[in-house]
Amino acid sequence: MAHHADPSDRDIPPHDDAPDTASAFRGLAVLPAGAERDALRDEIVEAWLPMADRLAGRFRSRGEHLDDLRQVAALGLVKAVDRYDPELGNAFESYAVPTITGEIKRHFRDHMWTLHVPRRVQELRNRVRHASQDLSQTIPGRRPTVAEIAEQADLSEEDVRTGQEALASFSALSLDAELPGSDDGYSLGDALGAPDPALDTVVDRQAVRDGLAELPERERAILYMRFFDDMTQSSIADELGISQMHVSRLISRSCGRVQDQVMRDTGEDA
């Protein structure tokens, strides 16, 4: 597959790690598939690996291990070697640099985002980050404002804020991570709420309300004393001047009636 170099890449200056492999590429272009061609291809890749490592090093501060970035850059180099056409007259470096860099950027876009972020937001994040870095060199001592970043990146202030939010979405914070400024190990997980068991009680009370309303007054009073005042059956018996056995039977009968009412209501709702 022949490449089409971007005119803006043709003036990439040579580096110390840019070997002279022009004759090797011309030989690669005419050799048929086989062991000899594979060996020459491997020699070219090995010769350009220092340049790929240098390009990978530009991204080492973005949260990925350098060894992994070198592997990605090497993959981009192999693609560049396979696709380069010396007959087009452009230097291999001018084609390889954007190819390798693009491979590394795709790696970040496809594998490094813990949260799914739309590509447009990822691009805003990169523009905001670059603008912030450029401004930090001209206004030392403070962070650039949203308005300054917007002007530098040629973005609206709303887009800048979106990009800034994306800067914090590149990786997720562990719930076990200690919160900044916490001296007692207080983590984000400690700040999260938990299911409130009282909510189940609200549902249960609502479900039995109609059944309780149909009970005789004395039976409602007994259930109230037992389950709301937390009185024992003996205390209720003393309060009402009846036997504990009688209290027990009334509680069982009342609960049965309420349960039947709830079951009927549930059957009707279903």
What pLDDT, on a 0 to 100 scale, did the predictor assign at position 113?
A: 60
What pLDDT, on a 0 to 100 scale, did the predictor assign at position 13?
A: 44
What pLDDT, on a 0 to 100 scale, did the predictor assign at position 192?
A: 73
The CATH topology of domain 114-172 is Arc Repressor Mutant, subunit A (1.10.10)
Rounded (10°) angle between helices 22-30 and 35-57: 140
What pLDDT, on a 0 to 100 scale, did the predictor assign at position 18?
A: 79
CATH number belonging to the domain at 199-263, selected among 3.40.190.290, 3.40.50.970, 1.20.140.160, 1.10.10.60: 1.20.140.160
What pLDDT, on a 0 to 100 scale, did the predictor assign at position 117?
A: 67
**Architecture of the domain delimited by 7-111:** Up-down Bundle (1.20)
**Which pTM value belongs to this model?**
0.42
Tens digit of each residue's pLDDT, the chain (270 residues): 444 434 333 344 455 667 889 899 989 889 999 999 999 999 999 999 999 999 999 888 776 788 889 999 999 999 999 988 888 877 899 889 999 998 998 887 766 666 666 778 878 888 888 888 788 778 777 888 999 999 999 999 999 999 888 776 665 666 666 666 666 666 767 777 777 777 777 777 777 888 888 888 899 899 889 988 889 999 999 988 999 999 999 999 988 888 888 888 766 544
Count of beta carbons in the 10 Å neighbourhood of residue 62: 12
Tokens for 229, please give them: 């005042």
Output the furthest CA–CA distance in the chain (Å, rounded).
Answer: 113
What pLDDT, on a 0 to 100 scale, did the predictor assign at position 110?
A: 67
Q: What is the DSSP string of 32-97?
A: PSSHHHHHHHHHHHHHHHHHHHHHHHTTTTSSS-HHHHHHHHHHHHHHHHHH--GGG---HHHHHH
* Contact in structure between 42 and 73 (CB atoms under 8 Å): no
Tokens for 93, please give them: 């470096």
What pLDDT, on a 0 to 100 scale, did the predictor assign at position 55?
A: 92
Q: What is the residue extent of each domain of the chain?
A: 7-111, 114-172, 199-263
Q: Which residues pair with 187 in a beta bridge?
A: 178
Tell me how far apart the alpha carbons of residues 222 and 7 are, in angstroms, rounded to a whole number: 91
One-letter amino acid identity for 41?
A: R
Tell me how far apart the alpha carbons of residues 203 and 111 are, in angstroms, rounded to a whole number: 45
